[in-house]
Amino acid sequence: MDHSLKLVSFKLCPFVQRAVITLLHRKIPFEIEYIDLAQKPAWFLEISPLGKVPVLIVDDDKAIFESSVINELLSELSEPMLHPADPIERAINRAWIAYAAQLQGMLYRLESAPNEAAFLEYQQRLRKLLLRLEKALADGPFFNGEDPSLVDFTYAPIFMRLKYLHNHYPITIFDGSPQTAEWATSLINLPEVAQSVVSDYKDRYHHWLLEHNGFLQQMLSPS
């Protein structure tokens, strides 16, 4: 790797995690700098047009924002591409990467649901999103088959959080999507996924869930 890379991060951010997984998978050396999103530093606002992490600073002076764009760059900077070789298959992968935004958004609504009715509604909507995803999967263990790629790294943070929730409260999101459930397990078991979070991730995530002061605050078993 001929470039220096610094990832500007926030400790619980699932979008940052996508890039960290790719960097670890490819064994690309990088620096990481955590910022406080409640008090964004001026230098960060200067380089991040949307004020969001992740931002990848390349060679100290080029700031790349948007996790999917960062991942595409990381795929292109190292061989082979972390996408199918066939352009149509590659486009299909990119379309499902875009689809992950729906799941990520619905997961956030579930995590912060104010009451049981809202929680059940978002759970149902998440289940529907997964049923659709189920039909797009190959035979496993990963999205395209044997090898994990960018589409996998995009979904892994979502599945990690769903698994945590499932361990502390009985969610039924994977009902009807057994292959997606297996895919989720394969992803969670990848070392680069396990290592892509901070060491106290579980405690942090648990406290973050409790901070929403909603349905899960009453229902979650201890971390």
Ligand X SMILES: N[C@@H](CCC(=O)N[C@@H](CS)C(=O)NCC(=O)O)C(=O)O
Residues 14-43 that bind ligand X (CB under 6 A): 15, 37
CA distance 93 to 47: 29
Q: Which is nearer to ligand X, 67 or 196 (CB)?
A: 67
**158 within 8 A of 188, measured Cβ to Cβ:** no
| Stretch binding ligand X (CB under 6 A), from 7-15, 27-35, 164-172, 215-223 | 7-15
Q: Does residue 201 interact with ligand X by CB under 6 A?
A: no
Beta carbon of residue 165, minimum distance to ligand X (angstroms, whole number): 17
For ligand X, give the closer residue by CB, 54 or 214. Answer: 54
Q: How far is the CB of 36 from ligand X (least distance, A)?
A: 11
Based on its alpha-carbon atoms, the radius of gyration of the chain, rounded to whole angstroms, reads 17
Catalytic residue list: 13
* Nearest residue (CB) to ligand X, 71 versus 123: 71
Please pick, from the candidates 3, 6, 10, 134, the single residue that binds ligand X as defined by CB under 6 A: 10
Contact characters 45-74, ligand X, x per CB under 6 A = ------xxxx-----------xxx------
Crossing angle of the two packed helices 201-211 and 150-168, in degrees rounded to 10:
70
Hunting for tokens 């190959």 — which residue is that? 138
3-state secondary structure of 221: coil
**How many amino acids of this chain bind ligand X (CB under 6 A)?**
11
Backbone torsion region of residue 51, taken as left when φ is above 0, otherwise alpha when ψ lies between -120 and 50, otherwise beta: left
Residue 82 CB contacts under 8 Å (≥ 6 apart), including other chains: 22, 25, 26, 71, 74, 75, 149, 150, 153
**Contact residues for ligand X (CB under 6 A)?**
10, 13, 15, 37, 51-54, 66-68
